[in-house]
Structure 1
Amino acid sequence: MSRLLERLKTDILVADGAMGTLLYANGLDNCYEAYNLTHPEKVLAIHKAYIEAGADVIQTNTYAAKRHRLEGYGYGDKIKEINQAGVEIARQAAGEDTFVLGTVGALRGLKQCELSLDEIIKETLEQVGYLLETKEIDGLLFETYYDEEEIIEVLKAVRPLTDLPIITNISIHEAGITENGRPLVEIFGKLVMLGADVVGLNCHLGPYHMIQSLKQVPLFAQSYLSVYPNASLLSFVDDNGSGQYGFSQNADYFGKSAELLVAEGARLIGGCCGTTPDHIRAVKRAVKGLKPVSRKFVTPMVEEVELIKAVKQSETIVDKVKRKVTIIAELDPPKTLDIKKFTEGVKALDEAGVSAITLADNSLAKTRICNVSIASLLKNEISTPFLLHLSCRDHNMIGLQSRLLGMDVLGFHQVLAITGDPSKIGDFPGATSVYDATSFKLLELIKQLNKGIGYSGASIKKETTFTAAAAFNPNVKNLSRCGRLIERKIAAGADCFITQPIFNSEIIENLAKLTRDYETPFFVGIMPITSYNNAIFLHNEVPGIQLSDNFLAKLEAVKDDKEKCQQLALEESKQLIDHALKFFNGIYLITPFMRYDLTVELVEYIHQKVEQSHQIIP
């Protein structure tokens, strides 16, 4: 048995974190694998930083060092040199005490790959051959395989070539199921039978969803479990119009999550996108003294974990909100064609008496039924108007104007202009995020259409009558500095603002101070928590969401009692509403996980509060 497997038999090993994230942070943003030749000192420094942080295992900077990928950057003739330099640099950093894995990434899944499966196998074997030729690696790591056919055929081809340990990490979009729709345990079982020494997960999802996924996976007699989560969900920040991707800085949470991963059987724990030496250092601290579990209970997935959304708004509503309390409520369009519960939710919100029902546009880059289509289907069954989100991610300028003209024809005149969550975090991470425009440019287009002029300057023969809402995230470190952002969106055409959910009364007060000089209405986002795990996930893995330590502590105290936990969470939402109504006349209720009953209860609560203060809600 190899030295690596001997260690995994008795110990929890800590792996390294992201390479590309740190290279990008250092200003390198071309072909990361080519930096083995052009910037070896940068790659070496990152390896050493992870080892200093406590990594027992590091991987070579060779993820995409296949011929097909390298040719795209003009390095097709350097494939051997790049792969073997990657091994040499990693071994130089590792010495004799740290294990080195030769890393091989998938070709299918991230972007459309025109290669046939036979061609993919041929290119993989070429890369593996160069890695093995060095005789300096302690194992092979195949990672970020979304397509199970690819990883199965790769493993079949590579296993006969070496006795070194083989680690197969697949990537999934939804907790517990593969891209092909099969239970995670099924693909793991196949890989174990084909000779994988370690099976696991990496990329796309953060710690929370990976913990939930491993709950369904048993311990295998012939193989061990590995897990390399992302730091969090990827966020797209566009405060200054330039647009940047980023991850939550949550090293402490990452470390605490490692303890739960160990409890689910993981023996090799590292990090993927967005993780840094700080994350690995936290993992090392957390697992110190822990031993691998020898038995576990397998539990089926009880709750399908979706995320949240965080922006929404309305506008015929603008005049109303200036003079009375106005409630708008969000309900996500369904992911499937079973729309029964969604329809029930829409009708319940309509009967509850909200002023608008907002429908997102594939929020978090998760594919859902088109919001315009489902609004068209239901608009004659309710009296409440729809406020439709429009994302720049999925449409170029042609599509944005076309969608807006179509909405006008169908009678939908309230729109929330958003830049949109990046495709990388959603169902199809290889899909292109268009971003022809940002929310600023989209707001300007909406106002231009209201003047009867299209983007090209040509007349559209009629003026549209859109009210344009803009999103605002108050969950930032320096909220007082966001005045310029608000002013820019107002100048671009924002008639009102809808905030991401707020879970802290102090943030509401700071928002009130920031916005007191603006006449443009603000709707304060309130989203009820559904469970303790839901709260922990939102707080640590969803960019822009912050829960108070006091509230988290209260939830933790009753986390095993679902009824008490839900009651406590609703009381917290009601207290936040009470606080928001001291400063704002607009409340934006965000429905979690199709739990429209929670939203209805909060709507009724607001009605009661308003009646008590002799106000009237339309």
Structure 2
Amino acid sequence: MGEEAVRDFKEALHEDRVYLFDGAMGTMLYSKGVYINRSFEELNLVEPRLVQEIHRAYVKSGAQILITNTFAANRVKLAARGLEEQIKEINYKGAKIAREAAGEDLYVAGDIGPLGIRIEPWGPTSVDEAKEAFKEQAEALLDGGVDLFVLETFSDLNEIHQAIRAVRELCDLPIVAQMTVADDGNSSYGTSPEIFTKRLDEWGADVIGINCSVGPRVTLETIEKMVPVTRKKLSAQPNAGYPRNIDGRNIYLASPEYMAKYAKRFIQVGVKFVGGCCGTTPEHIKAIANEVKALSPSRKISVTMVPEDQRPQVQPIPRREKSSFARKICEGRFVASVEIVPPKGCDPSGVLQGVRLLKEAGIDAVNIPDGPRAMSRMGAIPLAAIIEREVGIEAIFHYCCRDRNLLGMQSDLLGAYALGLRNILIITGDPPKMGPYPDATAVFDVDSIGLTNMVRQMNQGMDIGGNPIGKPTGWHIGVGVNPGAIDLDREIKRFEWKVDAGAEFAVTQPVFDVEVLKKFLKRIEHCRIPVIAGIWPLTSLRNAEFMNNEVPGVSVPPPVMERMRKAEGKEKAREEGLAIAREALMEVMELVQGVQISAPFGKVQYALDVVEGIER
């Protein structure tokens, strides 16, 4: 439609009339025999007539803005199907197909959806990398002649920000920025409509809206919360209700008449752009078009702007005040902790008996692993709370990312903080196939870097959605590190990211070769935080072989293996393992700020023997 059409659409933003988007593309393709295990976007190249047939059906139904068949046509999602080298062609062709169907009278919106991966601060992909991925797609759509961009079905506010940045670096075409929400009207990250509406407004979206989600009712309730906080135009493209599984197929049951009734309600509260998402068809759009025509285009909606919310000034808790363990580290004291594996059952009495011995011996804290080696045991959080309550020694509970999503993690940690826990060691976690349950599935919503970012945000008084949580938490944040990693460059880079994310101390894997630790410490001098070295007293040659071959991230060097091999008999092997551990302890004392000593087989006396007689 050229420059003149672009100006026309910008003018259309200010016209006192309603515009109608089309409906679902994926639903229509599926109804025509295209299976969901196929790339719908690839059809722009291999079956363009089919795509155009659907566009034309929406034109006939009354749609005024056609959305290109490019929702998942970004490099990340296309790479999963081996199509990443065709990204420009797929997007360019998608725009051209829609343009041919739209003719000179209708508008074409370039469709951009999420990348399908976590970006920082929750994932390893940087914001700039995400922006470049969106920019690559947007550039091809721009070349294809789109009149505006629709950024839709985003849950992560940070991700849609990068999409907006990408488009703005290329052009000044209008941007429709649409979030998707859950039943409560918040994004899956917990971001409220009031917050994400303000942010999208600040970032330069021309139209702000809701699409997909769970149906028109929730969409309307969410839009009503958005109206008072922006003067930008609003859009609504809900699903045709919540999908029901009938004979193995997801069926959307909201009728065209039901959707049209809600379209009228959308417009009555101030929405200018209406349409449909999953489950909607040309019949739905036709019904909406008829309902829209019946409305008076001169109807004006009174929008009362509310002042920008004044977030309370949150003062983070100083590190030395977070816990006794944190204070000792801040004072430069050499700390000693002992790792205690949780029981397999629900009785902690045996663990408590051992922990009392540790307290009497002057140990500073107890470390509690979280599902070590992907095995099912008592949870680290409840055991840590029981230990602090019953014994009165501080606990450092390990918290791994496996088998938890972001919202679940946030709930766990808020509860743990309410129980009085303050020290946390954040780890990504071992996959279940390393444990005795190889058929168990794993959930890795984020890794340890993303979780560290989340905990730091809680320490600043906000949840993952950017919503205030009231009084900030005061977590003393620790992370794991492996000085003997096979890919040390990658390990150091991840350590740097952990420090940037908010890590305050680090605990290493068991150290059997001090020279390896020295080299690692030298390489992290530029981002050094207090390091606590792991010490493991070997009990036998078999134990050494097990550590070397079956414990992720642990390497026992040949000289140590040889010493254990020469130690004949159970008692001599134990003595030799103890001697190796004490030698390592003495050597690392000048290098690090503390040690974490493991108690093999739950026998705390092994750990106490390592530190016996050594001045700290």
Q: TM-score, normalised by structure 2?
A: 0.46
Q: Which has the larger radius of gyration?
A: 2
Q: TM-score, normalised by structure 1?
A: 0.46
